[in-house]
Amino acid sequence: ARERYVAAHPRSRALHEAARQVMPGGNTRSVLSYGPFPIAMERGEDCRLWDVDGHGYLDLCGEYTAGLFGHSEPRIHAAVQAAMARGLNLAAVGAAEGELASLLCARFPSIDLVRFTNSGTEGNLMALTAARAFTGRDMIMAFRGGYHGGVLLFSLNGPAPVTVPFPFLMADYNDTAGAVAAIRAHADRLAAVIVEPMLGSGGCIPARPDFLAALREATREVGALLVFDEVMTSRMSGGGMQEQLGITPDLTTLGKYVAGGMSFGAFGGRAEVMALFDGRLPHAGTFNNNVLSMAAGRVAMGAIFTPEVAQALFGRGEAMRAALNETLARAGTAMHFSGIGSMATVQFRPAPIERPFVQTEREEALRELFFLDMAAAGIYMARRGMAALSLPVAEADLDRFVATVGEFAQARGALLP
């Protein structure tokens, strides 16, 4: 499969070789550093992509959830073009900024007040900074296998990475008793607990609702803040997973699709915490309110990804995963897709998966094989085997995906668990 991939992508390979001379790893996103070399894309339209080697793909990567609107949503293009026509770098506030903020405050139960950043990473760094300032404490609890952006990557089997800017206390995802005990043991030092309601890059592993509810209760008990990183999961309903579960954190971070595909991040929450930024805490950033993100976000969240559309997308994702898993079960393999709603990740071990896990070498190899086989069949997924549906994906596309996964299970059956 590797040889076929190498032979089919000579231009991607040449671009990678050239880029490696000037960029360590050959590009600037760790997630795109995979072997033998990443596919270089030339253009996209709706939910289709074309690579520099002349192949077309159904795009199920969905830019790791940021590509919710596809590549050519006309209302987003119109909003961006209109913003461009009015001038790019005005060094001033504008109408769209406040209107996008209003939309987000109205939708997410925990968000009374909100501020914008350029990325989810920055949103999380700012939320944690706010929690530390508000509580006067220094320590943050995070979960092994969690991902909160660039430097905020927490491995499964090591201590907190040295690159993170705060002292971190690590706990195990979905281990309610362990997390609650650790929160209580560090009651006087703990500023915040940060958690993804579903592990995204950690493998589309949903938190158990009772786990999140226990975090809510224990943080309240010790006076620490609960931060939901909804950078990926906010798409699950009009008001994110917090609305769906009826669990309201103190702070929430957003990112990815919210600005219609322009770069974006946000952090928001309880008014008394966010009020720190009313002069007491600095939060600057040249591009925080850049006119492209603000204009695209206003139309994306105001007119396109309404709560009804969010609900419908969630249902389509659930139906897709059910069809995939039915097909795989019929093929007699334990291979399946984890996740909820419009996010799914392939797994090569029996369901259900409740905890993040270190992949075996065999699983690593199957994950690569799956990516290569899907690419050869014209389906572009995240290298780790994650699919994030975008709005333009049609029923026929999903049928094709399910059929292609079924063919993979037949063709590679002897290798599968």
Give the chain's length: 417
- Which of 200, 203, 240, 392 touches ligand PMP (CB under 6 A)? 200
Q: How far is the CB of 380 from ligand PMP (least distance, A)?
A: 17
Do 80 and 262 touch, CB atoms closer than 8 A? yes
Active site includes 397?
no
Cα–Cα distance for residue pair 142/128, rounded to 1 Å: 11
Q: How far is the CB of 212 from ligand PMP (least distance, A)?
A: 15
CB atoms within 10 A of CB 40: 18
DSSP letter at 237? S
- Which of 38, 62, 265, 268 touches ligand PMP (CB under 6 A)? 265
Catalytic residue (choose from 250, 256, 257, 380): 256
Where on the phi/psi map is residue 400: left (φ > 0), alpha (ψ -120 to 50), or beta? alpha
Q: How many residues bind ligand PMP (CB under 6 A)?
A: 17
Q: Does 198 bind ligand PMP (CB under 6 A)?
A: no
Q: How far is the CB of 368 from ligand PMP (least distance, A)?
A: 20
Q: Please identify, among the stretches 195-203, 297-305, 307-315, 366-374, the one whose residues bind ligand PMP according to the rule CB under 6 A.
A: 195-203
Q: Please identify, among the stretches 20-28, 148-156, 278-286, 302-310, the one whose residues bind ligand PMP according to the rule CB under 6 A.
A: 148-156
83 three-state secondary structure:
helix
- Which of 255, 341, 356, 392 touches ligand PMP (CB under 6 A)? 255
Question: What are the strands, taking DSSP E only, across 235-393?
Answer: 251-255, 265-269, 336-340, 343-347, 379-380, 386-388
Give the residue among 220, 219, 251, 215 at the shortest CA–CA distance from 131: 251
- Which of 144, 148, 321, 383 touches ligand PMP (CB under 6 A)? 148
The b/e string for 90-107 (b: 16+ C-beta within 10 A; e otherwise) is eeeeeebbebbbebbeeb
16 three-state secondary structure:
helix
Active site includes 147?
yes
- Which of 5, 147, 348, 371 touches ligand PMP (CB under 6 A)? 147
Cα–Cα distance for residue pair 331/151, rounded to 1 Å: 40
Q: How far is the CB of 209 from ligand PMP (least distance, A)?
A: 18
* Cβ distance to ligand PMP smaller for residue 66 or 398: 66
Q: Does 149 bind ligand PMP (CB under 6 A)?
A: yes
- Which of 201, 237, 338, 342 touches ligand PMP (CB under 6 A)? 201
Distance of CA 109 to the CA centre of its chain: 20
Q: Does 63 bind ligand PMP (CB under 6 A)?
A: no
Strand pairing partners for 345?
338, 386
Do 55 and 12 touch, CB atoms closer than 8 A? no
Q: Please identify, among the stretches 193-201, 287-295, 367-375, 385-393, the one whose residues bind ligand PMP according to the rule CB under 6 A.
A: 193-201
Active site includes 229?
yes
Q: Which of the residues 40 through 59 are near ligand PMP (CB under 6 A)? A: none
Q: Does 296 bind ligand PMP (CB under 6 A)?
A: no
Q: Does 144 bind ligand PMP (CB under 6 A)?
A: no
Q: How far is the CB of 67 from ligand PMP (least distance, A)?
A: 12
Q: Does 229 bind ligand PMP (CB under 6 A)?
A: yes
Burial of 1 (0-12, 13-18, 19+ CB in 10 A): middle
Q: How far is the CB of 31 from ligand PMP (least distance, A)?
A: 7
Cα–Cα distance for residue pair 58/50, rounded to 1 Å: 9
* Cβ distance to ligand PMP smaller for residue 265 or 297: 265
Catalytic residue (choose from 5, 57, 147, 257): 147
| Distance, first Cα to last Cα, the chain | 19
Catalytic residue (choose from 229, 250, 373, 397): 229
* Cβ distance to ligand PMP smaller for residue 33 or 404: 33
Residue nearest ligand PMP (C-beta atom): 120
Q: Does 297 bind ligand PMP (CB under 6 A)?
A: no
Q: φ, ψ for residue 175 (rounded to 5)?
A: -100, 85
Do 320 and 399 touch, CB atoms closer than 8 A? no
Pairing of strands 190-195, 56-59: unpaired
Distances (CA, A) of 74 to 33, 77, 82, 296: 31, 5, 12, 11
Q: Does 121 bind ligand PMP (CB under 6 A)?
A: yes
Catalogue the active-site residues. 147, 229, 256
Name the site residues for ligand PMP (rule: CB under 6 A): 64, 119-121, 124, 147-150, 196, 200-201, 229, 231-232, 255, 265
